[in-house]
Amino acid sequence: MTETLRSADGTVIAYEHTGSGPAVVLVGGAFNDRSTTTALADALAPAFTAYRYDRRGRGDSGDTGPFSPEREIEDLAAVIAAAGGRAHVFGHSSGAVLSLEAAARGVPMTSLAVYEPPFRAGDAPRPGADLLARLEKAGDPDEAAALFLTEAADVPAAVVEQMRQSPVWPYLRAQAHTLRHDVALFEPDFAVPAERYRGVGAPVLVMDGGESPGWFHGAADAVAAAVPGARRVTLAGQDHDVLGRPEVLLPELTAFWS
């Protein structure tokens, strides 16, 4: 059953929870609403109470302006408060970055597991510094979605064109107005804010997939190096699209949270 809460600025945030046991909050990335973490929530339910929510502007949640990353941090803090005031957190992709930013700012977490926060480290190619401005000026959702996929997600233009003809495109298009929220988390240059992450006090697990592009591995290494005491794990045979395979994540998460 869908429930709602109000974030610090009054924005309505929609969420659901399932299962029993210690609270876990699941934070999706770009193009995700709470439906994308359903399979993982169901897999966790026998041992945990899994909370999944619509990030600001997605699904059934509101989108009060003006936007800033601090508003999304407040939203996550409000969901954790609804879960009892403290929770394990799992963040995927830009949801991993949002979760790290919240932890660095003192949002109470029992622990934090992140999968492939899409920073750029070392000499990895970086999106243009004007990507956020270009997304805000995009003429329509199709343009915004294609721009994000090619520049922020590093998807080849030919593949994006195929995606535009596929049944999944209307869903991606419907989320396109929130992509600026994701990119704003990486301002100004998609680099890992190592100094800030040294202030993360919760235990942290940093994961990536063995089949993902190399820049994901570099980003995961850089995050793990920045966060004191972080544990680093690579899931063999996996790529960025891991949310639909909870059986892969479950052993690592349950071991980390036990």
Q: Which of 182, 204, 224 is the last residue of a domain?
A: 182
Segment 110-150, tens digit of pLDDT: 999 999 999 999 999 899 889 999 999 998 999 999 999 99
Question: Phi and psi (nearest 5°) for 110?
Answer: -65, -40
CATH code of the domain covering residue 237: 3.40.50.1820
Work out the pLDDT band at 87, boundaries 50, 70, 90. Answer: very high
Residue range of the domain that includes 157 = 131-182
Domain count within the chain: 2
Residues 38 and 79 in one domain: yes
Rounded to 10 degrees, what is the CA torsion of 137, 138, 141, 147? -130
Q: Would the pLDDT of 32 be above 90?
A: yes
pLDDT band at 187 (very low <50, low <70, confident <90, very high): confident
Q: Please give the pLDDT value at position 111.
A: 98
- Quick one: 141 and 168 in the same domain? yes
Burial zone of 128 (CB within 10 Å; 0-12 exposed, 13-18 middle, 19+ buried): exposed
Looking at the fold, whether 8 and 55 belong to one and the same domain comes out as yes
Helix, strand, coil: what percent of the chain each, to 5? 40, 20, 40
Mean pLDDT of the chain: 96
Amino acid 139: pLDDT: 84
Clarify whether residues 62 and 178 are in a common domain: no
Structure tokens at 68: 């800033």
Whether residue 51 sits in one domain with residue 165 = no
88 vs 187, higher pLDDT: 88
Same domain, 8 and 70: yes
| Residue 69: predicted pLDDT | 96
177 shares its domain with 74: no
Query: Could you tell me if 76 and 36 lie in one domain?
Result: yes
141, 32: one domain? no
Percent of the chain at pLDDT > 90 equals 96
- Do 147 and 118 share a domain, yes or no? no
